Structure 1
């Protein structure tokens, strides 16, 4: 199976390891990727995840159109909405996810990126949603997340024209956080991950969930949800450890409880 999964120092690294196919995904690989995301969600030892692609050409070209035919699936699967759930297909993963984009990031590769929280890319990376050129749409969140993350006109240009843009354009549009040279890509992503993993994991996860859910709430409801979460967190051991470590001038030992 060409989905590599490693965990070290509270950081999970998921590598789409199919460089001969530009890290494109067929049904078997989508299922393996789903299992990886559920492990990130459910394993309390994991505090943050990095997702990347193998090789030097592509992060992911999305669905392998030569072998993957969604139309061949039984209609009954349409209502099994949590079957083989993916990060960009509605799986709720409140642990932060960092994308290390090592090349072409198109189609499902870009919709996956849109479901991550922090994105680092090499100068050679290109981004695009070309589905309309194939008679389909940018599903798995493409039509929903992009319009919430970049200005309306930019989102519509990408969705309706289907052309690719380079890394500098993606940075200017706010699709990615940083551009780094290829040899430094994983170091940059790992530094983000380590910085996050040092923080209190419950507070980190609460912050992500509040920020994401708040997009669908009015301000009053969002503020109230924030107040409730803050009150709950004050009862945790980590909330006591943080101020104590500060007073004692030492690094906190957060345990996620």
Structure 2
């Protein structure tokens, strides 16, 4: 289906979502959030897709929420409706069972940073900047920033970013673990595509089990997480790809995975 604020395409077994409000530096509008939710639902149902890349194009990932729209929220009730919707969209992106890669060029601020945090892997161009500047207008991040950031980089570093509202550059984001890798801007998308291809070659069910075990396990106590990991491990022994992978290893040949 056509979208107004994003571009969506499938290539090989990869989905590419491009935020597409260039005149607004890809600020996350209510309409864009709705379309991101729609495309996340579509991807979740598409068994042909193995990986997802989310990008903002060559100039900016996303400059934050659409402040013009946010400024029109005239009551706590309206604010609640908006922020719950924004959280639901980020949650849907985070819960897509296959790997989701954020390819970040330029600004990833506020809601843009929160969108990147909802992805599994963050690749940054060397001109990327990350930040949660909401404190500077008297509010806090509401689409997961206060929670996902601290889980990713640690509470102390997260609080410094949240309390100051100041952005950090790509190299500092890499140093503190906010991004996985940094590349020259000109090669970022090629690197993201290469990584997506690498993931897509892995046995699909094991890939999904890895993601769910890691993502779900971090939110529960260690022993509950270990029990869940064990269930994921044992479930894979019913799959064709596990048998094929072990047989290929013993026979010293390349495995032929089918996704089953």
> TM-score, normalising length from structure 1?
0.91
Shift of 1:37: 1.3
**C-alpha distance in structure 2 between counterparts of 1:242 and 1:175, whole Å:** 33
How far is the alpha carbon of 1:254 from its aligned partner?
2.5
Match of 1:64 among 51, 63, 66: 66
Preserved CA contact (<8 Å) 1:88 1:111: no
1:133-172 to 2 correspondence within 5 Å? 133-172=136-175
Counterpart Cα distance in 1 of 2:25 and 2:244: 45
2-side partners of 1:113 and 1:256: how far apart? 27
How far is 1:139 from its partner?
1.2
**Partner SS for 1:14:** strand
2:68 is paired with a residue whose SS is coil
Deviation at 1:250, TM superposition (A): 4.2
Residue by residue, what CA displacement relative to the aligned partner does 1:166-220 show, whole Å, maximum 9, x if unpaired?
A: 1111111111111111110001111110010000111111111111111122222
Shift of 1:114: 0.9
Aligned length: 256
Give me the CA root mean square deviation: 2.5
Q: 1:198 is matched with which residue? A: 201
Looking at structure 1, the residues matched to 55 and 155 of structure 2 have their Cα atoms a distance apart, in angstroms, of 28
**2:259 aligns to what?**
256
Note if 1:102 corresponds to 2:105.
yes
CA distance in 2, matches of 1:109, 1:185: 17
- Shift in Å at residue 135 of structure 1? 1.8
Range with greater deviation from structure 2 (85-94 or 171-180): 85-94
Q: Distance in 1 between matches of 2:258 and 2:75?
A: 43
CA contact (8 A) 2:94 2:120 kept: no
Whole-Å Cα distance in 1 between the matches of residues 117 and 86 of structure 2? Answer: 21
In the TM superposition, what is the alpha-carbon distance from 1:91 to its structure 2 partner? Answer: 5.7
Higher helix share: 2
Residue 243 of structure 1 corresponds to: 246
Distance 1:80 1:181 in 2: 34
Return 5+ residue gaps in structure 1 as ranges.
none
Tell me if structure 1 keeps the 8 A contact 2:87–2:143.
Answer: no
Name the structure 2 match of 1:54. 57
Q: Deviations over 1:44-65 (max 9, x none)?
A: 1111100000232x11012111
Question: Aligned residue for 1:25?
Answer: 28
| Alignment check: 8 A CA contact 1:53 1:60 kept | yes
238-247 or 91-100, larger mean C-alpha shift: 238-247
Question: Structure 1 residues 104, 127: CA separation in 2 closer, same or farther (over 3 Å shift)?
Answer: same
Structure 1 residue 126 corresponds to structure 2 residue 129? yes
Give, in angstroms, the shift of residue 252 of structure 1. Answer: 2.9
Unaligned runs of 5+ in 2: none
